[in-house]
Amino acid sequence: MAVFNEKVNIRCIGIDEASVFAFLANEGLDIFDPKKEYVVFPGFCDVHVHFREPGFSYKETIATGSKAAAAAGYTCVCTMPNLSPVPDSMETLALQLEKIEKDALIRVIPYGAISRGELGKELADMDEMAYLVCGFSDDGRGVQDDEMMRNAMLKAKALGKPIAAHCEVNELLKGGYIHDGVYAREHGHRGICSESEYEQIARDIELVRETKCAYHVCHISTKESVELIRKAKAEGLDISCETGPHYLVLCDEDLQEDGRFKMNPPLRSGEDRAALIEGILDGTIDMIATDHAPHSAEEKGRGLEKSAMGIVGLETAFPILYTHFVKKGILSLEKLSELMHKKPLERFRLPKGKDMCIFELSGEYSIEPDNFFSMGRATPFAGEKVYGRCVLTVMDGRTVYKA
């Protein structure tokens, strides 16, 4: 094994070196260049993706989404329930599970909906779905009714599953579609205020205090959200949260008049971005999730105001984070592995398996959406120069992607 290590510059992070080299000895050395540097991680996990099946296969499918994930080093993803039909019962969930069983290259574990049709009026059949889902969410919309969220938390607590909340107060949105900040005011756009996010987080923290439910906040984007969650954790409440690579790297000053810069929640201010980075560093933010949300070219080609909300993120996540944070000495590779592997698996009690992914770190390349395996192409990082290219992904000892 030592000889193999001398031939190729490979560093293992959070994974047993002997098992890695034993696998690679059988796999062969054709993917490696002795002049380059490689790092091996356990397979990544993304607890927030949209694979669009059933109902919207013109945007993405289980097959294309899982292939994109595998090509990005992911061996486990959790799919959100804003589908058609919404997985709010065993009957509707089964349609998604059949597609996963047939087409998924990696572990694809769905969320069940909190409410029927994600309409916030009546609880979904949470009992019958619980053993097949990673948790419950009405992602894409916040649960507006306090009593509905309280009942959902009590049910999830009894079932031993987390609630993953998209936090958004509808009455505060006022037709906004980007952050209510400098760019919106200077360019005549309607803004989404930060309160629309953090006010619902504040409400839910009170409900967690009452119900003792395991509660996870999706895609936080504001400095107030970070502080609320920091204080709740200090109190000992069972709360976790995620943010996305785009919120850590970009702010509303980077916006362009292009649909690939439109997502929900929106890119916030520079102060918000700095607070999110601080939250990553001090452990307030537990994990990084991409909110991979593919749309058709037509849906994303209508400018900031009229394009659909959402960007793709799986195939850009590691290179963006490695280039902007590890190479600059802000994060260690060990911390990045924790954010992309350890914490999401632990929080959602997901299977680990004999998984790994290998990235080549030396060569610079441009992010080219036309080369994505995902059907989605909209990313604010198009054309950016980055480091960190996935060359191999292995799940349960089986190669699912090889460059």
Q: Are 228 and 275 in contact (CB under 8 A)?
A: no
CA-to-CA distance for 233 and 348, rounded, in angstroms?
17
Nearest CA-CA partner of 307 in 178, 185, 197, 142? 178
291 catalytic residue (yes or no): yes
d(CA 198, CA 227): 10
Question: Side chain identity at 355, as an amino acid letter?
Answer: D
Contacts of 294 (CB under 8 A, 6+ apart): 50, 52, 59, 60, 65, 310, 312, 374, 375, 376, 378
| H-helix or E-strand spanning residue 66 | helix 62-70
Query: Residue 166: CA atoms inside 13 Å, Cβ hemisphere, count?
Result: 23
d(CA 183, CA 66): 35
> Helices in 191-342 by DSSP H: which ranges?
195-211, 223-234, 245-249, 270-282, 303-306, 317-321, 333-337
Please state the separation of Cα 336 from the chain's center in Å: 14
From 291, 355, 370, 396, active-site residue: 291
3-state secondary structure of 111: coil
Taking every pair of Cα atoms in the chain, the longest distance, rounded to a whole number of angstroms, is 64
- Provide the annotated active-site residues: 291
